[in-house]
Amino acid sequence: MAERDTTDPRIPVTVLTGFLGAGKTTLLNRLVSHPDMTGTALLINEFGAVGIDHHLVERIGETMVLLDSGCVCCTVRGDLVEALEQLHGKLARQQIPPVRRVVIETTGLADPVPVLWTLMEQRFVAARFRCDGVVTLVDTGLGAEQLDRHEEARRQVGMADRILLTKADLSDRSARERLDARLDVLNPSAPRLAVTHGEVEPRRILGAGLYAPGSLPEEVARWVAETEAAARDNIAPPSVHAEGAPSVSFTCFFGRQVPWRGFSVAMGEILAEYGSRLLRVKGLMNVAGLSGPVVLQCVERVAYPPVRLPRWPADGTRFDMRGRLVFIGRDLPEAAVDDIRRRLADLPGDTAALRAVAKAPLLPTRCWLATRMPTQSQSAFETGGWHINPLRLGAATRQAAEAS
């Protein structure tokens, strides 16, 4: 990994960006366990009112800062500056161990231009931190279409010093070729690196160095020019989605445990119906029969294998064991949001769910349905790695129990 520049005392900052679900948190989780990452402060920013990611990233001491909900690029002069000021204050007072590097994970909808503006032009920040490169993750399978549809994705790629092509294991050669053709236009000079499950040596992506201005393609040069003009007037440049792209984020909470199969079928039907207008779904669910939460992730129509955590994360000082799913959509009418809420409030029982699966075997959540989970029973529980289901009901009793 590139060491700190001895001629420049400022702390290097790497901006880790990439469209919703591209694999940023997965990459960070791999990176933080690497010895080269010692002395790194992480700043994590999430879109949506309820943060999930910070529960999923391994903690690396006190140097992880969660930027308040809202998008980093829309609150450049608020949260990000404040977080860096706080970090600097703690370092100056020696309240935290020395920091050699900062990594900022932006939201998937972040426009990196105002973030870079803050790092380079905001007086306090620019005097103490220096931007050391933008690393952009792109989903190999979904990337080409996302670049066609979303201006934020284009800007993230356009500003990249390194491009990481993620999820190669899920895509075929033609997807990679389509994506390469788009990247050749948007950012021909940034090196590309294929990454699976976040597996990469830190030195290959940190200390990436900034673009030589002469190499900027036309569109990117325009954004940079806008940024510089805004800097001259001492204002933050507008972020692209602040200008009005209709993104909607909402959270569904679940007051009690959900039946796994009923929930998986309902979510499968929701993904099938709303598809690519649902850019991202993620959450922690309280599933009947389990003591720890299940982490769920979807990117557009793709549902990823569920991950079981051993225990619920503490929310502040208390444990909040309510299930919660954060949805981020685009061009999603209010009626669709109501419909999603209604379907999740009225989940089918296991038997009804299995009947629905028989009729629609290709539900996007079929990998959830194939996962071994407790069957629906309030009295089932887990202990020491064993799943205990004390009641064996006959078919008639089971149907009566489900109907109740």
Query: For binding to ligand GTP (CB under 6 A), which residues are involved?
Result: 18, 20-26, 53, 108, 166-167, 169-170, 196-198, 280, 282, 297, 299, 304
Q: CB count, 10 Å around CB of 305?
A: 11
Q: How far is the CB of 116 from ligand GTP (least distance, A)?
A: 19
CB closer to ligand GTP out of 297 and 351: 297
Nearest CA-CA partner of 65 in 46, 50, 48: 46
Residue nearest to ligand GTP (CB): 108
Nearest CA-CA partner of 140 in 19, 45, 31: 19
CB closer to ligand GTP out of 167 and 182: 167
Q: How far is the CB of 362 from ligand GTP (least distance, A)?
A: 19
DSSP three-state, residue 54: helix
CA 338 to mean position of chain CA atoms: 24
CB 190 within 8 A of CB 164: no
Q: How far is the CB of 20 from ligand GTP (least distance, A)?
A: 4
For residue 131, which phi and psi values (nearest 5 degrees)?
-70, 130
Q: Interhelix angle for 218-232 vs 112-121, to 10°?
A: 50
CB closer to ligand GTP out of 69 and 389: 69
Q: How far is the CB of 48 from ligand GTP (least distance, A)?
A: 9
271-290 burial code (b ≥16 CB/10 A, e <16): beebebebbbbbbbbbbbbb
CB closer to ligand GTP out of 53 and 269: 53
Q: How far is the CB of 403 from ligand GTP (least distance, A)?
A: 35
Q: How far is the CB of 245 from ligand GTP (least distance, A)?
A: 16
Q: How far is the CB of 225 from ligand GTP (least distance, A)?
A: 28
CB closer to ligand GTP out of 34 and 100: 34
Q: How far is the CB of 105 from ligand GTP (least distance, A)?
A: 7
Residue with tokens 């809202």: 70
CB closer to ligand GTP out of 130 and 280: 280
Q: Please return the burial class of 120, using the count of CB atoms within 10 Å of its CB with bins 0-12, 13-18 and 19+.
A: middle
Q: Residue 53 and residue 25: Cα distance in Å, rounded?
A: 7
Q: Secondary structure of 102-144 in the HEC alphabet?
A: EEEECCCCCCHHHHHHHHHHCHHHHHHEEEEEEEEEEECCCHH
Q: Which helix (H) or strand (E) holds 250?
A: strand 247-254
CB closer to ligand GTP out of 5 and 169: 169
Q: Secondary structure of 346-403 in the HEC alphabet?
A: CCCCHHHHHHHHHHCCCCCCHHHHCCCCCCCCCCCEEECCEEECCCCCCHHHHHHHHH
CB closer to ligand GTP out of 280 and 398: 280
CB closer to ligand GTP out of 109 and 125: 109
Nearest CA-CA partner of 231 in 94, 113, 372, 398: 113
Q: What is the CB-side half-sphere exposure of residue 69 using CA atoms within 13 A?
A: 10
CB 362 within 8 A of CB 270: no
Q: How far is the CB of 355 from ligand GTP (least distance, A)?
A: 28
Q: How far is the CB of 284 from ligand GTP (least distance, A)?
A: 13
CB closer to ligand GTP out of 130 and 167: 167
